[in-house]
Amino acid sequence: MDIKENLKQLTNPYLPSWEYIPDGEPYVFGDRVYVYGSHDQFRGDVYCMLDYVCWSAPVSDLGDWRYEGVIYRKDQDPHNTDLQGNLYAPDVTIGPDGRYYLYYVLSNWGVVSVAVCDEPAGAYEFLGYVHYSDGTRLGERDGDEPQFDPGVLTEGDRTYLYTGFCGVGDKSRHGAMATVLGPDMLTIIEDPVFIMPGEAYSHGTPCEGHAFFEAPSIRKVGDTYVFIYSSQLFHELAYATSTSPTKDFVYQGVLVSNGDLNIDSYKPADKPMCYCANNHGSIVQIGEDWYIFYHRHTNGTNYSRQGCLEKLTRRADGLFEQAEITSCGGRETPLRGEGTYPTYLACHMFSPLDVTYVPWSGWMDDRFQKITQDGRDGDELYGYIANMRPETSAGFKYFDCHDVDRITICTKGYAKGTMEVRNAWDGPVLGEVPVDFANVWCDSTAEIAVPDGVQALYFTFRGSGYLQFASFTLHRKGQ
């Protein structure tokens, strides 16, 4: 199988490697899944530099995503005439009139803006700002806290709006807020109340250590309201539940971490398996299954983020277990164990340094590998792993392997040594592929038998110099 055929499967990231859509809010409308998010730029120097676009896929095939185009431009907001405000994480809800309402906050203004459209992925038009009955905008009344990252849920004529941002140690902001809007989707009929504390006010509460930071999102599962948010640890999406949309939320745990922290099923719980930073996303039911959408970081910065998804396991009590990050959306949907795969599908990248966070200052230094691409933003070129130094590893999960007896790697760079292959991050070496100096992409093959069954694959570079690692190919006997 060539790369194009293999990428028709469900992979992470689920969109093309040249697309950067973080903060994903997934919804099923009709027979398609729509994802709304902010829009980063490859090699961007701040968050959310581009206009909103939308992607959708049939509910029957999460590997078949379709670009719906630009749905809203940042020059459409009347406040943003100088274009200094970027379009931060949005959310969408269906109003009582059956129309689709887009809620967002500009990066330089703590007020909630609203746009509307007759279709889920059509051309949204600016509608107005969320405001009190006297016309004062939410976020501008005395005592209001700045609005940030709106999440919305509509039930009948009431829309529940969730907002907030609370930095660690910041006592000027109290936590996540819930505000109730009337049928016009703009006017407040119940003032904001706090439903989840920020770190400074979380001590002694059930969410201590996982207090609210940002990224509020809301879903209803049966009769239970599920509040999803990014915790004070940045890399994880936590959740709380209640039988009321505006009170009594109880912390329940973590849904996903973009470094696989907290999970101890295959490694120590505190070992990061990928370089982490902020996280934002939500859950959605597709068919009988529940999924968590989240994002990862690329290019060695915080500003080129890509959407990923994982299948969730729901317990008998209705709560969700933390999902393991994968290259394929979950162990239940492994990739074919044959053919060529691009290395931007790596779900794990780590070194002996055990670094948890991508440096907030910007570029990751030259000790660490990163997923990047050639060309400019929008160029349809496959991503790859750059700057793979000695002792660094890249992991891919999972593949349904049968009779794999050879592996080819495609590399270039000033490097010489071997690429060790394992089926566990700390497992025995299955074999080694030679690596030599090359200034253009070149292939190298070795006889390596991969055990049959659903397997992870880890590649560790041993030698000197640094590698660019583009792809690997799994060969079956007789092929």
pLDDT digits (tens, 9 = 90+) for 102-154: 999 999 999 999 999 999 999 999 999 999 999 999 999 999 999 999 999 99
C-alpha to C-alpha distances, 276 to 180, 258, 300, 349, nearest whole angstrom: 34, 6, 10, 10
**Contact of 162 with 107, CB cutoff 8 Å:** no
Nearest to 401 by CA among 447, 338, 458: 338
pLDDT for 365: 65
User: How far, rounded to the nearest angstrom, does the alpha carbon of residue 173 sit from its chain's CA centroid?
Assistant: 25
What pLDDT digit, counting tens, does each position of 10-57 carry? 999 999 999 999 999 999 999 999 999 999 999 999 999 999 999 999
pLDDT for 95: 98
**Contact of 279 with 295, CB cutoff 8 Å:** yes
pLDDT for 1: 82
Whole-prediction pTM: 0.97
Sequence ranges of the chain with CATH classification 2.60.120.260: 335-476
pLDDT for 357: 86
Of the residues 19, 23, 149, 260, which is catalytic? 23
pLDDT for 353: 83
Q: In the chain, which stretches have pLDDT less than 70?
A: 359-365
pLDDT for 358: 74
pLDDT for 364: 58
Is 426 among the catalytic positions?
A: no
3-state secondary structure the chain: CCHHHHCCCCCCCCCCCCCCCCCCEEEEECCEEEEECCCCCCCCCCCCCCCEEEEEEECCCCCCCEEEEEEECHHHCCCCCCCCCCECCCEEEECCCCCEEEEEEECCCCCEEEEEECCCCCCCEEEEECECCCCCECCCCCCCCCCCCCEEEEECCEEEEEECCCCCCCCCCCEEEEEEECCCCCEEEEEEEEEEEEHHHCCCCCCCCCCEEEEEEEEEECCEEEEEEEECCCCEEEEEEECCCCCCCEEEEEEEECCCCCCCCCCCCCCCCCCECCCCCEEEEECCEEEEEEEEECCCCCCCEEEEEEECCECCCCCECCCCCCCCCCCCCCEECCEEEEHHHCCEEECCCCCCECCCCCCCCCCCCEEECCCCCCCCCCCEEEEECCCCEEEEEEEEECCEEEEEEEEEECEEEEEEEECCCCCCCCEEEEECCEEEEEEEEEECCCCCEEEEEEEEEEEEECEEEEEEEEEECCC
Is 23 among the catalytic positions?
A: yes
Sequence ranges of the chain with CATH classification 2.115.10.20: 11-311
- The answer regarding whether domain 335-476 maps to CATH 3.20.20.70 reads no
Which residues neighbour 21 within 8 Å (Cβ) at sequence distance 6 or greater? 15, 35, 37, 38, 39, 40, 53, 55, 295, 306, 307
- Amino acid sitting at position 280: H
CATH number of this structure's domain 11-311: 2.115.10.20
pLDDT for 359: 62
Of the residues 19, 25, 214, 236, which is catalytic? 214
What pLDDT digit, counting tens, does each position of 182-221 carry? 999 999 999 999 999 999 999 999 999 999 999 999 999 9
pLDDT for 360: 54
What is the spatial distance between Cα 364 and Cα 299, in angstroms, rounded to a whole number? 8
